[in-house]
Amino acid sequence: MRELVQVERPDPIDGPRMMIRETAYNLCALAAQSLNVPVKPFPKAPGDYVSERTTIITDGSNYVRKIEHPYNENTDKMSPETGCEYRIEPSNQVDIAILNGGKMTTVSRDANGKWRTEDGVAAGGSLAAKKEDLSSYSDSFAVNGVKLRCLPASSGLISANETQALCVDGSDQALSTTDGNAMVLYSRIKPLGNDPRFPYVVIKEPLSLKQLDKVDGKIFDPATYTK
């Protein structure tokens, strides 16, 4: 069994919200002032802010992928009458995919805490470690102690205006997705269409990748998560 823990985050951390602040929020603030309504300050993201936190556990034929969404951005009160309140709130939203014995099950909890389970047939493959030709990933790199193999800057897939970095598992047997492609463990991407006045990139990075000596089989039971 191997376990990967990975996060996705913007850099700078408040980058995605700067355009909202400088456009919609500032216009709202002007309207609120004309109504003599006190304007709520625009919040900064918490220091531990990440867009997603993903945990994957695989034994080579079965896997569990859990994607947590730690924060929710709420604009339901961003109107002049309510002081243009923009909130960044903790969230319990989670999406879980379980592949066990060839059967795929998805379990999700929405922002209101409601659970939903859906069964389906797996599309084939698994998140198993597979040997692939990764010779194009020729640059060695490490993030949080996780060894990676990355595409060099000379690669046609690397560009300062889009994908700035792309790396896979640096071990002899790289983690792979269900379609057999090497799983991306680290990437640095400039979002397409982003306003150049508010530049930021989206970073996906591993926090840990380790071998597990023992795993409770209950992790493959959907009921484990909805109790």
Please report the pLDDT score of residue 128 as a whole number.
Answer: 47
Apex 194 CA angle, 191 and 198, nearest 5: 115
Per the CB < 8 A criterion, the answer to whether 175 and 169 are in contact is yes
Res. 17: pLDDT tops 60: yes
> Does residue 134 or residue 206 have the better pLDDT?
206
Threshold 0.85, pTM exceeds: yes
- Ordered by start, the domain boundaries in the chain are 2-211
Of 70-79, 150-159, 176-185, 205-214, the poorest mean pLDDT is in: 176-185
The angle at the Cα of 29, spanning 24 to 32, to the nearest 5 degrees, equals: 125
What are the distances in angstroms from CA 130 to CA 62, 88, 99, 104, 212? Answer: 13, 40, 17, 20, 18
- 215 has pLDDT over 90: no
Q: Name the DSSP class of 33.
A: H
- Per-residue pLDDT of 77-116, as tens digits, reads 999 999 999 999 999 999 999 988 778 899 999 988 899 9
Q: What is the DSSP letter of 155?
A: S
Q: Map tokens 């300050």 to a residue.
A: 41
Rounded to whole angstroms, the Cα distance separating 36 from 42 reads 18
pLDDT digits (tens, 9 = 90+) for 18-54: 999 999 999 999 999 999 999 999 999 999 999 999 9
**Rounded-to-integer distance, Cα 55 and Cα 208, Å:** 10
